């Protein structure tokens, strides 16, 4: 697989966030997006996830399922945990498993885990039958992460993935991310924290003018 972003231009709220951004990413590789707050990192991830409409440019996935859009091959892990408080932890995860269909792609070897196994893996199996409202911020973050494990999709779009996690959970998350890469997946993550990812590339976004954002060359 190869994800290609060609000449992307994004406008939000009447403001040009950035323009002319191009990059590509192969299977088993990660792209780490950095830059100051408000520079457009989250907007880029939301655009790749299909949540923000491109003003110009094209996003395509070579080697994916031909009848599915690139964003249908991706999981978006954003700032919001997308947890319904009245449902139990297990009911939340079972809903997401039924809602998000897997993407079966040649060369991507990850298989989905059962909801209970995913919760156990992330250390919150003991909360399975509690209302999600009872979870701490870190536990809600781990419940949100568990969605990525129950429905295999090759592209993980992750916005500040270590937010609200303690050191042990951060290490576990990095292990899961590197396993995903080893299985042939891709990761694009916006972060202010240095992440020990396998095979990373870097994309640093910088402001070109007070009312616009222009990306640097990818290094």
Query: Rounded to an integer, what distance in angstroms lies between the CA atom of residue 158 and that of residue 165?
Result: 14
pLDDT of residue 147: 93
pLDDT of residue 214: 42
- Spell out the domain ranges in the chain: 27-51+71-195
Query: Rounded to an integer, what distance in angstroms lies between the CA atom of residue 190 and that of residue 21?
Result: 15
pLDDT of residue 123: 92
Give the closest residue to 26 by CA, choosing from 56, 62, 58: 62
Residue labelled with tokens 């003018």: 209
pLDDT of residue 215: 40
Instruction: Walk along the chain (219 residues) and give the pLDDT tens digit of each residue.
Output: 999 999 999 998 888 888 899 999 999 999 999 988 888 899 999 999 999 999 999 999 999 898 889 999 999 998 888 899 999 999 999 999 999 888 888 888 778 899 999 999 999 999 999 999 999 999 999 999 999 999 999 999 999 998 888 888 889 999 999 999 999 999 999 988 888 898 899 998 876 454 444 443 343
pLDDT of residue 207: 66
pLDDT of residue 212: 46
pLDDT of residue 87: 96
| CATH number of the structural domain 27-51+71-195 | 3.40.50.300
DSSP-derived pairing of the beta strands 74-77 and 212-215: unpaired
* pTM of the model as a whole: 0.90
pLDDT of residue 213: 40
Give the tokens for residue 2. Answer: 């190869």
| Signed CA dihedral, 191, 184, 181, 132: sign only | positive
């Amino acid at each position: 697989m190869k994800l290609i972003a060609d000449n992307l231009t994004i406008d939000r709220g009447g403001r040009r966030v950035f323009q002319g951004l191009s990059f590509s990413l192969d299977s088993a590789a990660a792209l780490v997006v950095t830059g100051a707050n408000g520079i457009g990192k989250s907007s880029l991830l939301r655009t790749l996830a299909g949540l923000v409409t491109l003003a110009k440019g094209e996003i395509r996935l070579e080697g994916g399922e031909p009848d599915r859009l690139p964003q249908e091959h991706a999981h978006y892990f954003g700032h919001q945990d997308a947890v319904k408080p009245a449902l139990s932890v297990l009911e939340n995860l079972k809903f997401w498993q039924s809602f998000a269909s897997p993407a079966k792609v040649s060369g991507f070897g990850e298989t989905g885990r059962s909801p209970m196994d995913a919760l156990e893996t992330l250390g919150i199996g003991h909360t399975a039958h509690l209302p999600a409202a009872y979870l701490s911020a870190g536990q809600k973050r781990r419940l949100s992460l568990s969605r990525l494990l129950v429905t295999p999709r090759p592209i993980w779009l992750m916005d500040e993935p270590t937010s609200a996690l303690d050191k042990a959970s951060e290490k576990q998350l990095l292990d899961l991310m590197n396993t995903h890469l080893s299985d042939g997946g891709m990761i694009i993550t916006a972060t202010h924290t240095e992440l020990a990812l396998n095979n990373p590339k870097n994309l640093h976004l910088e402001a070109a003018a007070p009312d616009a954002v222009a990306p640097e060359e990818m290094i």
